[in-house]
């Protein structure tokens, strides 16, 4: 039976001067599922994620419900909400700057972060850190011993991803995590997330501009435009049976996958 982990119901958000940012968002995510949120820039993907993370600007007017397990996150105070971050709700952002203190070695910071969530020894935390660094194809020993300023931007981002995975969250929010990575590295990172998802049955909310990745990797896709969800469905439904003009436009940019031919017909789009 599917176990619901996250349920966003009729979520609407306005700024204090009444600008509508989100309107009636409904989205569900079960344990072990990967759900993609795609849509144009400014459509409200990150705001939706930030609501779940408790990172919204406090002046925003929020209505609706956001249940994580049986907790309504919108009625939690900030302190209790932030306590969920890390080992319950993990986050990987596109902007990884500020994830690490520049003049403390990466390994020390990883070990401390892991031990702030789990009561394990330093040796165990180090082994876990090296393991996740290897999973995302970093030279684990070297990276562990390095200071963040000695690493490239992409390496620091991957360490941040490794750390989020090491905390084994039940829900992992990935916001545009591959934008700054080269194609091979992006694939390796997404493979590592996939592996953790299979091992731990964590749910993943995968925010991306990359329709191909959403199509390949997710169980369900939500399409956002101008603060609303305009369409949702399985990757196949979104690709081949879409109804909304915006989804149609998005899909028209989708190149055929290897071994497929991509046809526009009077009934919509078909792969052959
Ligand atoms: N702190 C804020 N105060 C007011 N408006 C905001 C704030 N943060 C975001 N917005 C607005 O909310 C809307 C949705 O922004 P959001 O960051 O969720 O978009 P997005 O879909 O994630 O875009 P992108 O793909 O470019 O990251 C935008 O119009 C944005 O300008």
Q: Which neighbouring-strand residues pair with 66?
A: 8
Q: Say yes or no to pLDDT of 229 above 90.
A: yes
Write the residue with the smallest CA distance to atom 25 of ligand 1.
41
The CB of 35 under 6 Å from ligand 1? The reply is no
Interface ipTM: 0.96
Residues 74-102 have pLDDT tens digits of 999 989 999 999 889 999 887 777 778 98
Question: Helix 122-135 crosses helix 183-200 at what angle (to 10 degrees)?
Answer: 130
| Cα(46) to centroid(ligand 1), Å | 7
Q: How much is the average pLDDT of 28-36? A: 96
Average pLDDT over residues 10-38: 96
Q: Provide the pLDDT for residue 98.
A: 73
For 231, counting Cβ atoms within 10 Å of its Cβ (0-12 exposed, 13-18 middle, 19+ buried), the class is buried
For 1, which DSSP code?
-
User: What pLDDT does 264 receive?
Assistant: 47
Q: Counting atoms of ligand 1 from 1, which one is nearest the CA of 94?
A: 27
Are 84 and 170 in contact, with CB atoms under 8 Å apart?
A: no
**pLDDT at 263 (0 to 100):** 46
């Amino acid at each position: 039976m599917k176990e619901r982990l996250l349920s966003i119901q009729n979520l609407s958000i306005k700024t204090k001067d009444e600008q509508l940012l989100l309107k009636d968002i409904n989205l569900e995510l079960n344990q072990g599922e990967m759900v993609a949120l795609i849509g144009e820039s400014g459509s409200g993907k990150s705001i939706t994620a930030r609501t779940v993370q408790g990172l919204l600007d406090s002046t925003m007017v929020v209505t609706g419900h956001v249940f994580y397990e049986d907790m309504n996150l919108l009625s939690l105070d900030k302190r209790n909400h932030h306590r969920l971050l890390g080992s319950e709700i993990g986050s990987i952002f596109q902007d990884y700057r500020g994830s690490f203190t520049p003049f403390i070695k990466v390994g020390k910071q990883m070990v401390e972060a892991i031990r702030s969530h789990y009561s394990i020894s330093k040796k165990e935390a180090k082994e876990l850190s090296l393991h996740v660094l290897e999973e995302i194809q970093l030279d684990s020993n070297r990276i562990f011993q390095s200071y963040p300023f000695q690493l490239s931007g992409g390496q620091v981002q991957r360490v941040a991803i490794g750390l989020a995975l090491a905390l084994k969250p039940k829900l992992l929010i990935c916001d545009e995590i591959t934008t700054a990575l080269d194609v091979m590295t992006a694939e390796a990172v997404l493979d590592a997330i996939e592996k953790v998802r299979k091992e731990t049955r964590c749910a993943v909310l995968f925010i991306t501009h990359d329709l191909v990745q959403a199509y390949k990797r997710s169980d369900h896709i939500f399409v956002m435009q101008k603060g609303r969800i305009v369409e949702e469905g399985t990757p196949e439904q979104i690709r081949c049976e879409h109804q909304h003009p915006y989804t149609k436009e998005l899909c028209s940019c989708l190149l055929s996958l290897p071994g497929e031919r991509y046809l526009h017909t009077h009934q919509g789009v078909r792969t052959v």
